[in-house]
Amino acid sequence: MLGNFIYYNPTKLYFGKEVHKNLLDALNGFGKKVLLVYGGGSIKKNGIYDTVISALNEAGKEVTELSGVMPNPSLEKLNEGIKVARESGADLILAVGGGSTIDYSKGVAASAYYDGNAWERFWLGGKEPDADQKIIPVGSVLTLAGTGSEMNGGSVITDESNKLKVGKVFDDRLMPKFAILNPEYTYSLPKNQMVAGIFDIMSHLMEQYFSDDDDSTTDYLIEGLMRSVVASSRVAVKDPENYEARSNIMWSATWALNTLLKMGKSGDWMVHMIAHAIGAYTHATHGMALAAISPAYYRLVKGFGLHRFARFAKVVWEVPTEGKTEEQLADAGIDKLADWIKEIGASSNISSLGVTTEMFDGIVGATFLGGGYKQITKEDVKQVLNDSL
Ligand code: NZQ
Ligand code: ZN
């Protein structure tokens, strides 16, 4: 385990079915005015809205609603929310939904009392709010397991007019103060959203795993989580209301991206960077964009971290090692990943997400370059797109 770090995470987690009771406890200690943020209305169909409203009423809160947060929330919607939050004088923003709603709420919370151009400062400029700037606390009720937004500082916003999807990871002031995690709340998800969430979890784990080559406790943790995600996914796609599988998936999602696993690790994140650029051009569902490009990306970089890719095959996919070179093992591991993508019904190519070759130059230009085992170039991004068509 190499590297120096400080570990701190302020999010209080409430896991399980007792949402009303948990929410009452969680709301304690925040002021009267609550800005309730949600998406396009799924919470009204599945009854989550009613449970949340009844807890807010019982807690004596004054509620202002801000709805219509779209998947991959837009800058335009962010600007609307900033105004509403400021006018409402919210003491707490309660985000009820998936990653988009929670990311958006953090964006609003960070920006409501910033007097300049928030997009330029926080997302494009990568800066944090000043120490004396007011930040509205955020709490969340999660309805889609995948992003880890319920326990991290991430906030991904899309500037649609300039085709730029940018993730800002805020410091711990913007991490949700609490997260209510009820696996049953994910039962109403359409299958493609459940699967996209599952792949997103796997991708967060791989982005952190495929970097560095020291002997690190973190990598063993990641391997355990990957094995659990694969096992639970196989149950959940056949039996979506299997509580055990859905609860494992929800718990894994939170731990996959709640800052623990990046301790002592440099990370890669290029699959995310390319997928974000694809999202800016197509509005593709985040997890599906990740799935569509992952095998091609890992085939491109595997030679630079062969030992780790061979370990991935051995430990995560249980590929027999006998008679195989490290390179053959690495290839077999990536093949297993590609097979699993098909098996669970995630996207296997970017054409199905609406990507055309005419978009390639734009997508390459919108990709923030970096890397784990290999610092990739614009040509590499183009190759990944070509190989994923
Ligand atoms: O808007 P509603 O009507 O609620 O419907 C949503 C939406 O259409 C629906 N949904 C959510 N929970 C449901 C449900 N439908 C039925 N029953 C339920 N229980 O699912 C659709 C997708 O929701 P969304 O929040 O967009 O999905 P997800 O959680 O995958 O979030 C994606 C966003 O998070 C960002 C992505 O880039 C994308 O913008 N990410 C955030 C990260 C972070 N904060 O750290 C990291 C990730 O890598 C990711 O980049
Ligand atoms: Zn992701």
**pLDDT above 80 (res 279):** yes
> Which ligand has its closest atom nearest to the C-alpha of 197?
1
Which atom from ligand 1 is nearest to the alpha carbon of 196?
A: 30
Q: Give the integer Cα–Cα distance in Å for 92 and 85.
A: 10
The residue nearest atom 28 of ligand 1, judged by CA position, is 99
Whole-number average pLDDT of the chain: 97
Length in residues, the chain: 389
- Order the strands of the 138-142 sheet from edge to edge: 12-15, 178-181, 138-142, 92-97, 33-38, 62-66
> Which ligand has its closest atom nearest to the C-alpha of 190?
1
CB of 101 shorter than 6 A to ligand 1: yes
Question: By the 8 A CB rule, do 105 and 64 touch?
Answer: no
> SS3 sequence, 115-139?
CCCHHHHHHHCCCCCCCCCCCCCEE
> Which ligand has its closest atom nearest to the C-alpha of 257?
1
> Which ligand has its closest atom nearest to the C-alpha of 67?
1
The residue nearest atom 45 of ligand 1, judged by CA position, is 154
Instruction: Supply 380's token pair.
Output: 């590499």
pLDDT range class, residue 65, cuts 50, 70, 90: very high
Best residue among 11, 19, 42 to mutate for probing ligand 1's pocket (most ligand atoms within 8 Å of CB) is: 42
Which atom from ligand 1 is nearest to the alpha carbon of 38?
A: 4
Say how many Å lie between the CA of residue 357 and the centre of ligand 1. 27
Which atom from ligand 1 is nearest to the alpha carbon of 200?
A: 48
> Which pLDDT score is estimated for 4?
87
Beta-bridged to residue 62, according to DSSP, are 33
pTM score > 0.85 for this model? yes
**pLDDT above 80 (res 1):** no
> Which pLDDT score is estimated for 3?
81
> Which pLDDT score is estimated for 372?
94
Mean pLDDT over 106-118 rounds to: 98
Mean pLDDT over 63-68 rounds to: 98
Say how many Å lie between the CA of residue 312 and the centre of ligand 1. 28
Task: Judge residue 270's burial from the number of C-beta atoms within 10 Å of its C-beta, 0-12 exposed, 13-18 middle, 19 or more buried.
Answer: buried
Helix axis angle for 326-344 and 286-301, nearest 10°, is 170
**pLDDT above 80 (res 77):** yes
CB of 99 shorter than 6 A to ligand 1: yes
Q: Give the integer Cα–Cα distance in Å for 37 and 104.
A: 9
Mean pLDDT over 292-303 rounds to: 98
Mean pLDDT over 173-186 rounds to: 98
Percent of the chain with pLDDT over 70: 100
Question: By the 8 A CB rule, do 144 and 98 touch?
Answer: yes
In tens, the pLDDT along 134-160 reads 999 999 999 999 999 999 999 999 999
CB of 295 shorter than 6 A to ligand 1: no
CB of 246 shorter than 6 A to ligand 1: no
Phi and psi at 139, nearest 5°, equal -125, 160
